[in-house]
Structure 1
Amino acid sequence: MNIQIDTMIYGGAGTAPLPDGTTIAVPFTLPGEHVTINGHNEVSAILEASPDRVPAPCPHFGPCGGCQYQHATYPAQTRIKQTILHKTLATTGLTNLPETVIHTAEPWGYRNRIRLRVAIVDGTLRIGYNRRGTYEMLPIVACPISAPLLLRAAEAVLAAAAATQTWDRKLNEIELFTNSDQSSLQITFFLRTEKAIDLKAFCTQLKFTIPELAGAGITIVGESGRKDQPGANWGAAGLQYRAAGRDYWVTRGNFFQVNRFLVDALIALVTADRTGTLAWDLYAGVGLFSRILTETFTTVVGVETIVGDLANVLKGSTHRAVGSTVLDFLRMAILQRERPDLIVMDPPRAGIGLEACELLGRIQAPQMVYVSCDPVTLARDLKAMVDSGYTIQQLHQVDLFPQTFHMETVVLLTRLP
């Protein structure tokens, strides 16, 4: 079938209208392209290519499930994401929006964290990702969106594991995390069993080929519905991550923003020129925003289910880290009639949710900053907040995930007293 792509949708595919009035989604296409598709709705021939189409630099692009936009120029990628954001917001009636400001940086080598599968393939120990749309492992030799140190370290782990009689058959996955300048590295080894494993000896050997290695830990992979269990540790429990001119301690395995080139810009968007008496940082993580807000607010309250690294940031008599779900915290705040000057929210992909939006509408903070990694849940939550009296003052797209369909949005909401 020959079709013409007319628009892009969230998830990375292009769509085309069919004669019966339905639409079809085709991956790895671009607006305006004429293509031939096969019975699996995949491109078999490009009849007329978009001027924005470029050769993908990664040899695994297409079969790999990680990237969706390597076939597009980088300016085209950001335009596509902006269009998708506006269309998604419009589905809930949010059309009268401020101009979207786009923030970009180097679109390659940006990831400070990757998680790789490990398996013996054709008699050789290999690393890889999932094949697109499956749980089948795709062995890889390159990953141009990751910090160079990470793949170099992963290859060193393979070489060291292959030389043993235990690690090569017990490794299931590895997660590697580095700081912005690649001077320090943490590794988590996901093993099927810890029996006959000597982590200290293994890491001591790795240190010769990966001098950046600061610490490592083992996680035993749960089977038959069982949860993963922590195992042995070696070296430091985390690393120092420099961002916005400050040092953050990030414990191994804890969440930190993945783009090492745009963290400073994200922090500035959320915290710059914001002052007052009381600020809340909901879904605070390691305190990325809390740390800066303590310099301009008398009291900062950070909320996270596990407050480990956050508690180190919010020290002192006026600041506090609260171990709680956001919903439970907001319910209690309603009872106590607290009203902060600023609320910062950086939820997971599920968003804040309608109950939390309703509670925030009752609290009536004069300013809120919503950091979102999913436009669909963002649209739902913004509509609820606008209906409760808030106005969208600023709209920013921070492209933390180049070459992929994922997008980060920062929204400033205000309301009159």
Structure 2
Amino acid sequence: MKKGEIYQGIIERVEFPNKGIVQIEDKKVIVKNGMPGQHVKFMINKKKGSKVEGRLLEVLEHSYLETRKPVCSIFPECGGCMYQTMSYENQLEMKAKQIQSLIDQAVKAGGQVDEQGNPDYIFEGIKGSPREFAYRNKMEFSFGDAYKDGPLTLGLHKKGSTYDVLNALDCKLVHQDMNEILKCVLEYCQEQGYDYYHKMQHVGFLRHLLLRRGNTTGEILVNLVTTSQVEADFEELKDRLLSLTLEGKIVGFLHIINDALSDVVKSDEMRILYGKDYFYEEILGLRFKITPFSFFQPNSYGAEVLYETAREYIGDTKDMTVFDLYSGTGTISQILAAVAKEVIGVEIVEEAVLAAEENARLNGIGNCRFIAGDVLKVLDGIQEKPDFIVLDPPRDGIHPKALPKILEYGVEKMVYISCKPTSLARDLEMFLEKGYRVEKVCCVDQFCQTVHVETVVLLSYKKPDGHINVKVEFGEGEGKVPLDNIAKRAESYKPKERVTYKM
């Protein structure tokens, strides 16, 4: 096989996250963006040793799993969805198998096997989202064009493309309110003749439309992200937005200036054009204030399932000090606060920590403390020792230098919540190496129609054989212990654990 060659084949299975496996004679080729059973045409675009990757060119025959019609106008070209023509039941089954395979490999590599050599832990399957569509409470839409020098578009990137942006006027992952707002903003910007930001040339005005909508409250925050290259007055756009007929209510319209060279949604300056720069969302009876860049689970309905599962895995934390590492806006911390002595949350994003503190006050919770900083550094300065640890790291998992510090606490149980199972599987090998074992695992699907899934893992630690090694010096001189006194002293010492005396 050589780069540029074109082949055809059937995707036999899909490994996490979206690696379709096509067998061509004795070669295994990874073809992304497909689903099991599809007959596809692809071009070899990467080859390194025995590893071969192909770029999907065309689906020649649909999969036997594609049992329903697309629900939006730009599927399958749009990169926002992957599996909407597959039944939700089959999506869940496929994701569960993908994650179980990854955890199995990690557990076996760590030597946690039964007498037959099989992975020795409980896999509890997958829990679906209460809503399959219109579940996202946050969406970052991009400005661009669908083809080079085409008309202005606003929506989601074309599958496999860094540049082409498709109009997502009928996206089904979000509430219809968001689609109405997107359409209004796009039409206004087209009328004004605004150009989008060209990433390679670093010129242009429009960058992103960041929309956030409380699933339970219906409150909407509209954030228009541009460069500073044009001075614009959005008063008319504000009036148009506020006159829209929506199920929810726009509580804030913000103009965010971002002159960063990289294609990220961030703020150099924020201008409030209407209302306020936050909205509220409710989960499990708690109320949370959310700002434009606050981390918050993008599926509030699925988040309740996720946190209920985590709470079940955590169990009884009465009179315990709990560390919530990578705590975000403190959702887990506040859920645990009612059944713990104290919860200490650590989060690197200072804005999220401020939001967590405010949310705790909002919910009348007094036994949560939040610290802004990198887990790697903050742990050195915390005097308290945890009885339980909850981990909910970003997609890349736990920093390799932070993980040993976490393991040094030697707590009997931990719960690890992961949004990227490959990072989780990597970290689990270190846990197993240091004496932890995987007790049980459950997946929670917060990202229906996509390749992503959350995973909750309960880990337990059994301290080594219970021996305490005591170094005893004996002989003559001050502070020395005569040898014939050792037996008497050993008899009078009644430790809770067995003692080994080495001389």
Question: CA distance change for structure 1 residues 117 and 49 in 2, over 3 Å: closer, same or farther?
Answer: closer
**CA distances 1:215-245 after superposition (whole Å, capped 9, x unpaired):** 1222222155698511311322211101101
Q: Is 2:189 the partner of 1:152?
A: no
Deviation of 1:254 after TM superposition, in Å, equals 0.9
**Residue 423 of structure 2 aligns to which amino acid in structure 1?**
T
- Between the two proteins, what is the percent identity of the paired residues? 24
**Whole-Å Cα distance in 2 between the matches of residues 9 and 354 of structure 1?**
25
Corresponding residue for 1:110? 135
2:2 equivalent to 1:3:
no
Counterpart for residue 255 of structure 1: 295
CA distance 1:351–1:34, change in 2 (3 Å): closer
Distance 2:38 2:157 in 1: 29
Residue 419 of structure 2 corresponds to residue 373 of structure 1: yes
Gaps of 5+ in 2: 1-6, 44-54, 109-118, 197-203, 464-503
Alpha-carbon contact 1:368-1:414 (below 8 Å) kept: yes
Matched residues in 2 for 1:34 and 1:176: separation? 34
Give the match for residue 172 of structure 1. 207
Tell me if 1:343 matches 2:389: yes
Please say if 1:290 is aligned against 2:329.
Answer: no
Counterpart-to-counterpart distance in 2, 1:77 and 1:224: 37
Residues 287 and 224 (structure 1), Cα distance of their counterparts in 2 relative to 1, 3 Å cut: closer
Please point out which of 275, 297, 302 is paired with 2:317: 275
Q: Distance in 2 between matches of 1:6 and 1:167?
A: 43
Structure 1 residues 191 and 210, CA gap change in structure 2 (3 angstroms): farther
Change (3 A) 1:255 1:27: same
**Structure 2 Cα separation of the partners of residues 78 and 224 of structure 1:** 38
Counterparts of 1:64 and 1:317, CA distance in 2:
45
Moved more, 131-140 or 252-261: 131-140
Q: Does structure 1 retain, via aligned residues, the 8 Å contact 2:107–2:428?
A: no
CA distance in 1, matches of 2:262, 2:74: 32
| Structure-to-structure mapping, 1:398-413, within 5 angstroms | 398-413=444-459
Q: Report the equivalent of 2:404.
A: 358
Q: Quote the residue 1:97 is aligned against.
A: 121
Rounded to whole Å, the distance in 2 between the matches of 1:9 and 1:256 is 27
Tell whether 2:368 aligns with 1:319: yes
Report deviation, 1:71: 3.0
Q: Secondary structure at the match of 1:385?
A: helix
Per-residue deviation, 1:405: 0.7
**Residue 166 (structure 1) shift:** 6.7
What's the counterpart of residue 60 of structure 2? 45
1:202 Cα deviation (Å)?
3.9
* Cα distance, 1:8 vs structure 2: 1.0
Paired residue secondary structure (2:181): helix
Cα pair distance change 1:237/1:323, threshold 3 Å: same
Q: 1:266 to 1:308 in 2, by over 3 A?
A: same
2:29 pairs with 1:24: yes
- Give distance in 1, aligned partners of 2:144 and 2:33: 28
For the 8 Å contact 2:337–2:367, the answer to whether it is kept is: no
Deviates more, 1:63-72 or 1:22-31: 22-31
Distance of aligned partners of 1:146 and 1:342 in 2 relative to their CA distance in 1, 3 Å threshold = same
Give the secondary-structure state (helix, strand or coil) at the position aligned to 1:350. coil
> Residue 416 of structure 2 aligns to a residue in which SS?
strand
2:370 is paired with a residue of what secondary structure? strand
Amino acid at match of 2:136: R
Q: Are the structure 2 counterparts of residues 210 and 344 from structure 1 closer, same or farther at C-alpha, using a change threshold of 3 Å?
A: farther
Asked if 1 retains the 8 angstrom alpha-carbon contact of 2:65 and 2:86, the reply is: no
Q: Please give the residue correspondences for 1:220-231 in structure 2 after superposition, counting only pairs within 5 Å.
A: 220-224=257-261, 228-231=267-270
Could you tell which deviates more after superposition, 311-320 or 301-310? 311-320
Q: Write out per-residue CA displacement over residues 171-217 of structure 1, whole angstroms, 9 at most, x where no aligned residue.
A: 32100000013620011111122754345664344222166111122
Aligned amino acid, residue 134 of structure 2: G
Question: Cα distance 1:363–1:125, how it changes in 2: closer, same or farther (>3 A)?
Answer: same
Deviation at 1:326, TM superposition (A): 0.9
| TM-aligned CA deviation for residue 161 of structure 1 | 4.1
Give the partner amino acid of 2:378.
F
Aligned length: 411
Q: Which runs of 5+ in 1 are unaligned?
A: none
CA separation in 2, counterparts of 1:415 and 1:198? 60
* 1:4 to partner: Cα distance: 3.5
User: For residues 25 and 96 of structure 1, what CA distance do their matches in structure 2 show?
Assistant: 30
Amino acid at match of 2:156: Y
- Hey, what's the Cα distance between the residues in 2 that align with 1:392 and 1:93? 7
- Counterpart of 2:156 (choices 129, 154, 171) is 129
Tell me what 1:138 maps to. Answer: 166
Indicate the larger mover: 402-411 or 210-219.
210-219
Question: 1:182–1:196: structure 2 CA closer, same or farther, 3 Å change rule?
Answer: same
**Are the equivalent residues in 2 in contact too, given 1:167–1:197 (CA < 8 A)?**
no
For 2:91, the equivalent position in structure 1 comes to 77
Superposition deviation, residue 280 in structure 1: 1.1
Cα deviation digits, residues 69-115 of structure 1 (max 9, x gap): 22322111111111211222233344323122311122111111111
The 3-state SS of whatever aligns with 1:297 is coil
Higher relative contact order (CA 8 A, sep 6+): 1
Q: Structure 2 length as normaliser, TM-score?
A: 0.75
Post-superposition Cα deviations, 1:136-181, rounded to whole Å, max 9, x if no partner, equal 2222332111122211221222344455577998432100000013
Please say if residues 12 and 404 of structure 1, whose CA atoms lie closer than 8 Å, have aligned partners that are also in contact: no
SS at match of 1:91: helix
Q: Is the 8 A contact 1:188 1:253 kept in 2?
A: no
**Is the 1:176–1:186 contact (alpha carbons within 8 Å) kept by the matching residues of 2?**
yes
